[in-house]
Amino acid sequence: MSKKKRLKWRENLTGYLFLLPNISGFLLFTLLPILASLLLCFTQWDILTSAKYIGFDNFIQLLGFHREPGVGIVANDPLFWKYFANTLFFMLGIPIGMVVSLVLALAMNQKLKGIVIFRTIFFMPVISSMVAIALLWRWIYNPDFGLLNTFFAWFGIKGPNWLSDTLWAKPAIMIMGMWKGAGYSMLLYLAGLQGISEEYYEASRIDGASKWQQFWYVTFPLLSPVHFFMLIMGVIGGFQIFGESYVMTGGGPAGSTTTIAYYIYNNAFQWFKMGYASAIAWVLFLMAFAVTIFQWKFVGKRVHYE
Amino acid sequence: MNESEIKKKEKRRKLIGKIVAYTILSIGGAIMIIPFIWMLSTSLKSAGDVFVFPPKWIPKPILWRNYIDAWNAVPFNRFFINSIFVSVSVTLGQVATSCLAAYAFARLNFIGREKLFLGYLATMMIPGQVTMIPVFILLKKLNWIDTYQALIIPGIFSAYGTFMLRQFFMTIPNDLIDAAKIDGCSQLGILTKIVVPLSTPAIATLATFTFLGVWNDFMWPLIVTNSMEMKTLPVGLASFQGLYTTDWTLLMAASTIVLIPVIIVYVFNQKFFVKGIVLSGIKG
C-alpha cells in the first residue's frame, strides 16, 4: 500500500475508534429502537406471549371511525382524541408563557441593581424536580386550605376545587407549568434582548420613534429567532407532557388531564399493549414533525437573523 | 424647552421606567418564591395546624421532626444514593463519549462523516416515547430491569451532547492542532491535552445540565425500576405521595428534602446552570 493510502486508512480507523463508544450507544439505544418501534406498530404484543402481526389494525383502531347503530359515526378510540385535545389545550400555555416571560425579560434588561437576586429566584422553579413542584402545587390547589384559595378568600371569592373539577384541572396544571418554565423563557428572551445592537435604537430615536414604537418595530421583530425557537420547542415539549399529570391528578378527573404521552405510558407499561403504544408514539412523532415543518415553512420565513 | 429641562424630563422618564421594572420584577419574584415559602412553612407544622383557616405562616411549634419522619417513612437514603450514583455515572459517560465523538466529527476525516452526523441530528427530533418502548423490551430481555444498568447505560450516549461539543470544537483554531501534530502528538493526545482544556466552559456546561436532567428525570426511572431499593429521588418522592396522600406536612417535608440539594448547588454555581440553559437554547 502506498504511504498516502496507508495514512488515509489510518485516519479512517482513528475516526471510527473515537466514534465507537458513542455510536454503539447510538445504534443500540436510538437507531435500532426507532426501527424496532416502527415494526412494533404493526404487531400486537404483550411481551409475555409472542408477537402477532396485525397489519394496520393498530392505526385503524387509533385513528379510525365506525358507524354505531343509533348513534352515528363514532371514533374507534375516543380516548385518543380526548387526550389529543387535552394535549393541545396544554399548549395554549406556550404563547401566554412567551408574553409573560418577554415582559419579565424587558424588566430584567433595565440596568437595575440586585438583578442577580431576581435571576436566582426566577430560575429556582426551572431547576427544581417536576415531582416536587407538582406535589407542592397539589397542596397549593387544595380547595379548603391551599394557598391559592386562601388568597382568593381574602377577596371574598370562593375558589373552585381545582384539581377535582373537570373544568379547572387542565388550566391548573397549565398554570403550574407556566410558573415552572417562566424563568427559562425569560432568560432566553433576555439573551436575545442583549444581542440587539444599540444602533437600531439610536436610528429609531433619530427617526422620532416613541418607546412603544421602538419595542414594536425594533425589539419585537429582532427577537424573532427566540420567538421561533420557543414555539418549536414548546410544541415538541408539549407533546411529551407526562409527569405533571401523573403526579398531580393521575390523569383525572375523568381523564381530563391525561395527555398523549400519558396514554402511551399506560398502554405500554400498565396494559402491556406494546404494539398499540408504539403506534400512538409514531402518530405523536408524525404530528410533532408536521407541526415543526409547518412552523419552519411559514413562521420561519418571517424570522430575521442578524 | 431648554437643555436642562429636557435632561430633567429624560431623567424622570428613566426613573419611572426603573420603578415600573422593579415593580414587575418584584411581583414576579414574589409569585416565584411564595410557593416555596409555603412549602417550607407547611413542612414544619404539626398535622393539626395544617387544616386551619386562615393559615398560619409561621408554625408554632416548629416541628423539625417532620423531616426525620419523612426521611424514615421511605428509604430516602437509598433514593439519594441511587440518584447520585446514576447522575454521576451518566454525566461522566456522556461527557466522555461526546468528547470523543465530537472530536471525530469536528476534526477527523473519515468516510461517511457528514452523513453520519446528519443521522445524529435527525434522530434528535424523535421523541423519547418512540424509543423508550423497544429499549424497555431490550432491557427486559437482558434481565436488566430494576438494575443500575437500565438507569445508566441507555443514557451514556447523547446526540445532543455530541452536537453541542462538535460545534464548540470546530471553533478551536487549526494552528494549535497542527502545531501539536507536527510535534508528533497522537489524536488522543491532541484531544486530551489541547482541545479539552480549551473547552472547559462548554464541557462544564454540558456536564451541568446533563447532571440536572438525569437527577430530575422522572419518566425513565419510573419505567425501569420497580423495587424501592432502585428508585431515584423523583420516583421515590412519587411513591411517597402514593403512601401518604394527604399527610401534607410530611409530603412538604419530603419535597423540601428533594429540592434542597439542587437549589444549594445551583445557588453557588449559577453561572454554569444559566449558561447551560441559555446555550442549549440559543444554539438550537
Q: What would the pLDDT profile of B183-220 be if each residue is shown by its tens digit?
A: 878 888 888 888 888 888 889 888 988 999 999 999 99
Q: Which neighbouring-strand residues pair with A72?
A: A68
Q: How far does the CA of residue B47 sit from the closest CA of chain A (Å)?
A: 13
Residue B160 confidence (pLDDT) above 90: no
pTM: 0.88
Residue A300 confidence (pLDDT) above 80: no
* Percent of all residues in chain B with a pLDDT value above 90, rounded to a whole number: 36
Compare CB distances from A33 to B127, B135, B273 and report the shortest one's residue.
Answer: B135
| pLDDT for residue B79 | 94
CA atoms lying within 13 Å on the CB side of residue A57: 12
| pLDDT for residue B46 | 86
Pairing of strands A65-68, A52-53: unpaired
| pLDDT for residue B132 | 93
Query: B73-78: long-range contacts at Cβ-Cβ below 8 A with a sequence spacing of 24 or more?
Result: B73/B240, B73/B243, B73/B244, B73/B250, B73/B254, B74/B228, B74/B236, B74/B239, B74/B240, B74/B243, B74/B254, B75/B228, B75/B229, B75/B236, B76/B233, B76/B236, B76/B254, B76/B257, B78/B228, B78/B229, B78/B231, B78/B236
Give me the residues of A, 146-165, that contact B with CB < 8 A. Answer: 147, 150, 153
Rounded Cα distance between B137 and B147, Å, is: 14
* Residue-wise pLDDT tens digits, B32-91: 999 999 999 999 988 888 887 777 888 878 888 889 988 988 899 999 999 999 999 999
CB neighbour burial string for B148-184, b if at least 16 within 10 angstroms, e if fewer: eebbbbbbbbbbbbbbbbbebbeebeeeebeebeeee
State which H helix or E strand residue A8 sits in.
Answer: helix A3-26
B277–A31: do the CB atoms touch at under 8 Å? no
Residue range A281-302: mean pLDDT, rounded: 85
Q: How far is CA A15 from the centre of its chain?
A: 36
In this prediction, residue B157 has a pLDDT band, given cuts at 50, 70 and 90, of confident
Residue B257 confidence (pLDDT) above 50: yes
B129–A285: do the CB atoms touch at under 8 Å? yes
Whether residue B189 lies within 8 A of chain A, CB to CB, comes out as no
* Residue-wise pLDDT tens digits, B118-149: 888 888 878 888 999 999 999 999 999 999 99
Per-position DSSP letters for A84-127, written without gaps between them = HHHHHHHTTHHHHHHHHHHHHHHHHHS--TTHHHHHHHHHHHHH
Residue A295 confidence (pLDDT) above 90: no
* Percent of all residues in chain B with a pLDDT value above 70, rounded to a whole number: 96
Question: Between these two residues, A121 and A304, which has the higher pLDDT value?
Answer: A121
Query: B256-261: long-range contacts at Cβ-Cβ below 8 A with a sequence spacing of 24 or more?
Result: B256/A132, B256/B39, B256/B40, B256/B43, B256/B67, B257/B67, B257/B70, B257/B71, B257/B76, B258/A129, B258/A131, B258/A132, B258/B233, B258/B234, B259/A128, B259/A129, B259/A132
Read off the C-alpha cell for B25: 420584577
Residue B283 confidence (pLDDT) above 50: no
| pLDDT for residue B280 | 57
Q: Which residues of A touch B97 (CB under 8 A)?
A: 21-22, 25
| pLDDT for residue B201 | 84
Q: Which residues of B touch A130 (CB under 8 A)?
A: 216, 218, 234
Rounded Cα distance between A30 and A42, Å, is: 19
Q: How far does the CA of residue B227 sit from the closest CA of chain A (Å)?
A: 15
State which H helix or E strand residue A74 sits in.
Answer: strand A72-75
Give the closest residue to A18 by CA, choosing from B89, B206, B165, B68.
Answer: B165
Q: Is the confidence metric ipTM above 0.90 for this complex?
A: no
Rounded Cα distance between B133 and B114, Å, is: 29
Lowest mean pLDDT of B53-62, B167-176, B260-269, name the range.
Answer: B53-62
B54–A34: do the CB atoms touch at under 8 Å? no
Read off the C-alpha cell for A295: 412552523
Per-position DSSP letters for B232-246, written without gaps between them = -HHHHHHHHHHHSTT
A22–B98: do the CB atoms touch at under 8 Å? yes
Rounded Cα distance between A203 and A200, Å, is: 5
| pLDDT for residue A138 | 93
| pLDDT for residue B278 | 63
Whether residue A34 lies within 8 A of chain B, CB to CB, comes out as yes
- Contact present, B74 and B251 (Cβ < 8 Å): no
| pLDDT for residue B282 | 43
| pLDDT for residue B173 | 85
- Contact present, A80 and A62 (Cβ < 8 Å): yes
| pLDDT for residue A19 | 87
In this prediction, residue A99 has a pLDDT band, given cuts at 50, 70 and 90, of very high
Three-class DSSP category at B57: coil
CA atoms lying within 13 Å on the CB side of residue B147: 12
Residue range A268-272: mean pLDDT, rounded: 93
Any idea of the CA torsion for A189, A194, A195, A196, to the nearest 10 degrees? 100
B129–A15: do the CB atoms touch at under 8 Å? no
| pLDDT for residue A17 | 87
Rounded Cα distance between A60 and A276, Å, is: 10
A124–B278: do the CB atoms touch at under 8 Å? no
B101–A21: do the CB atoms touch at under 8 Å? yes
CB pairs under 8 A between A and B: 282
Residue range A150-157: mean pLDDT, rounded: 86
Question: Between these two residues, B179 and A33, which has the higher pLDDT value?
Answer: A33
B262–A128: do the CB atoms touch at under 8 Å? yes
| pLDDT for residue A208 | 82
A191–B281: do the CB atoms touch at under 8 Å? yes
Give me the residues of B, 91-130, that contact A with CB < 8 A. Answer: 96-98, 100-101, 103-105, 108-111, 113, 116, 119-120, 123, 125-130
| pLDDT for residue A305 | 64
* Percent of all residues in chain A with a pLDDT value above 70, rounded to a whole number: 98
Read off the C-alpha cell for A125: 422553579
| pLDDT for residue B251 | 92
